[in-house]
Structure 1
Amino acid sequence: MLRKNTIALSHVPRCRGALPTMTLACVLACAHGGAQAQSRWTFGGFGTLAAVHSTERQANYTASPTSPGQAGLGKAWAFDVDSRIGAQVGVQFDKRWSAVVQVVHEKTVDNSFRPTLNWANVKFQVTPDLSIRAGRIALPLFLAADYRKASYALPWLRTPVELYGLMPISNSDGVDASYRWNAAGFKHETQVSIGGAAVQMNPEVRGDTKNLIGITHNATAGALTVRATVARSMLEVHGAEEFFDAFRAFGPPGQALADRYDIAKRNVRVFGAGFNYDPGNWFMMGEIARIDTRSLLGDQTAGYLSGGYRFDTFAPYATYARVDANMATEVDGLPTAGLPPQAAAMAGMLNTELNYRLRRIAAQDTVSVGMRWDFAPNYAFKMQVDRVRPRAGTEGTLVKVQPGYRPGRAFGVVSASVDFVF
């Protein structure tokens, strides 16, 4: 039997205000009071309606490369940057077996809103401390990975773009195992994930992540939580073969450039660490990570530091986020001296295209201030102002950049949203 509890959120004080360490399951449980002992099925959902304005009119501001918004160039006020709605159904078969399915309806890379299957997995509780899941599972790479699409669970209006925008893949198809244990005054949880995923990087280019293996470790003591993650995978991207083959046609110099930047098949490595300290009235959290694709897709280090304070139903906060490119975003490319005119022209075109793509490897910093107001049970209103500054001649995290864009110029972003759970 499908059941839904209507216990008010205000009856669960820990669920109010900023929620940087809570899982989505906890958030929905706070909203509904959780599944009662007699219930076998649970249903819940979440949503965000957000409006975003960017002062950069030569490009679009976006929160994710796989969900490109239209704030700035496209529209003065855009509703597609952060808006989404999701639903989740869970079932507890018995004390050991359970399953969950989550569907999220949001903007996709092809500029349309459509539903996607975010989670679909079965869980077996081997022992009270050991569990195994199989199916489509959220990748636990960063602190908010489990619930970043449920913005109600976030202290901010959105996760810091500089870090969370580096990982367009939020789930994998495979298995994971989690083991909980205690030591040195900390509660530990170690999670091993194995699987793969597909991602539509843009309307023409699709990527496949294969042989993904990751280890994530959480340690909690009172109000402090720390996390560390190491992951690697094989990324195969199709659609750019002609571009790199054209470089190889220029002999050893072109071969060297193709070998350095080709995206056809690359090992990707991720290293991350983060902390959250949340004693109740205030919070501070931060993360840092390096994602190295060893290709034209980038080698970047990103991080942020954020803090806030809670006054009853209000929670002002501030965040500084930064991403750096660990590789040159402009190169000389193919030598053109001594080439026949037609070959020199072709080499020049290839060099121009290569540097255009390198400039899309973001180097950027953002200073954000915002306010969260829990104006009703299960509802939160948020406002956030960002000062975004792309650096090192790059386009930062902007998309659809026009010829009139000037690199290195800071711009402002104003956002307002209503987040809810049901």
Structure 2
Amino acid sequence: MKSHSLAALLLLPLAVSTAYAQDGETSSVRVSGFGTGALTWTNTNDAQFARTNQASGAGTSPRTGVDSNLGVQVDAKINDWLSLTGQGLVRKFGEDDYGADATLAFAKFKFSDTLNVRVGRVPLAIFMVSDYRNVGYANTMVRPSQEVYSQVPMDSLDGADLSWQQNIGSSTLTTQLAYGSSTTTMAGGVGKAKLTDASVVNFIFEQGPYTLRFGRNDGKLSLDQGAFHLPKTKVSFTGIGFSMDSNNVVVQSEYTQARGIGNGSNGWYVMGGYRFDKVLPYYSHGKETRDIAQSTDSVGLRWDAFRSAALKFQVDRVDPTGRGLFIQPKTGFHGPVTVGTIAVDFVF
């Protein structure tokens, strides 16, 4: 999406806010945002380090495009049972320039304090951090584990979802059901990946500082990339995750399985850290096993230096099998590769 379209998307929330503000007695509007400004580099030019579906990545020269983004969200409360949400995200994704995506756009119907239904473009809730995977400030690490989150390139679903909360003693069980479809642009903008007839079920159990999640996604995936065409193929994705933030100890882990394409893939990671006031050092290890497997050891530091902003420093040691998840590899490329990142995450 070019600059004029990008600007229009960013100005849309302000226009909506102004329109609803004129009817303040029956509705309210909240405009918020988030972003990351980051520099990412590696110790080699034999391949590029990138996030999923990015057309280009980082080499020895620091680049902003791998981990930087800017998002704006509008939440408009129409009445006690209906609200509207829209979110636009600027990032490098698919094509080698910054573009704007409408990542969320849904109406939320509140049937009770425990039952909600959303219709439109909703999060594809198949990971621990699906609802906020693009919000760096909400995550400890600079980016979600590549070994797990690269398995599904979509992060939204066009359809509907249902959320039902139940109190079990002092604990909460949330059941999420969703159905819809999703389309994403492949790296380089030369093709599309389409997920149709997607059904999602999630169970999230929360007890104080502990969260346990189990999820399953079934659907049909098709790919059109240049001369390569994959007809609709049944696929599935299963994941279990755990997180804890207690007594300054932070732990997060997921194990996932993707099936239906080739031999499928398994992925997992575990991250742990300890908070010293506003400083949180952490370590993570992740591994993915498939035809292009890799593992990553990460050491990082998060410093909540400001009220609504955090500084992050992270070093990854990535060991790929073959090219792993690296893009544009040259002949003879091999790992391991060291990746460095300095980032500022913020919310407003």
TM-score, normalising length from structure 2?
Answer: 0.89
Q: What corresponds to 2:253 in structure 1? A: 286
Going by fraction, where is helix more abundant, 1 or 2?
1
Between the aligned partners of 1:82 and 1:264, the Cα distance in structure 2 is 32
Counterpart Cα distance in 1 of 2:140 and 2:28: 31
- After TM superposition, list the pairs within 5 Å mapping 1:12-411 onto structure 2: 40-64=28-52, 66-72=53-59, 76-183=61-168, 185-202=170-187, 203-239=189-225, 263-295=230-262, 299-325=264-290, 329=291, 362-391=292-321, 394-406=322-334, 409-411=335-337
Q: Secondary structure at the match of 1:133?
A: strand
What letter is aligned with 2:344? Answer: V
Retained in 2: the 8 A contact 1:68–1:81? no
Give the Cα separation in 1 of the matches to 2:260 and 2:340: 32
Cα drift, residue 184 of structure 1: 6.0
SS in structure 2 of the partner of residue 166 of structure 1 = coil
Unpaired runs of at least 5, structure 2: 1-23
Matching residue of 1:358: none
Amino acid at match of 1:308: G
SS at match of 1:146: helix
CA distance in 2, matches of 1:206, 1:288: 27
Distance in 2, matches of 1:94 and 1:320, equals: 46
Q: Give the residue type in structure 2 aligned to 1:50.
A: A
Deviation of 1:239 (Å): 3.9
Alignment of 1:420 onto 2:339 = no
CA distance in 1, matches of 2:279, 2:88: 30
Residue 275 of structure 2 aligns with an amino acid whose one-letter code is R
Q: Which runs of 4+ in 1 moved over 3 A?
A: 36-39
Report the alpha carbon displacement of residue 98 of structure 1 after superposing the two structures with TM: 0.6
Q: Determine which structure has the larger strand proportion and give its number.
A: 2
Q: Residues 22-56 of structure 1, C-alpha deviation per residue, up to 9 Å, x if partnerless?
A: xxxxxxxxxxxxxx999710010011010011113
For residue 230 of structure 2, give the secondary structure of its aligned residue in structure 1: coil
**Considering only aligned residues, what root-mean-square deviation do their CA atoms show, in Å?**
1.8
SS at match of 1:60: coil
Aligned equivalents of 1:163, 1:398: Cα separation in 2: 15
Deviation of 1:281 after TM superposition, in Å, equals: 1.2
Q: Following the alignment from structure 1 to structure 2, what is the Cα–Cα distance between the partners of residues 323 and 99?
A: 38
Percent identity for Structure 1 against Structure 2: 28
Partner SS state of residue 63, structure 1? coil
Per the alignment, do residues 57 and 239 of structure 1 end up closer, same or farther by CA in structure 2, a change over 3 Å counting?
A: closer
d(CA) in 2 for partners of 1:289, 1:108: 23
Give the whole-Å Cα distance in 1 for the aligned partners of 2:136 and 2:289.
26
Q: Which AA in structure 1 matches 2:318?
A: V
How high is the TM-score relative to the length of structure 1? 0.74
Query: For the structure 1 residues 83 and 93, does the alpha-carbon distance in structure 2 shift closer, same or farther, using more than 3 Å as the test?
Result: same
Amino acid aligned to 1:275: F
**Alpha-carbon distance in structure 1 between the residues aligned to 2:319 and 2:49:** 12
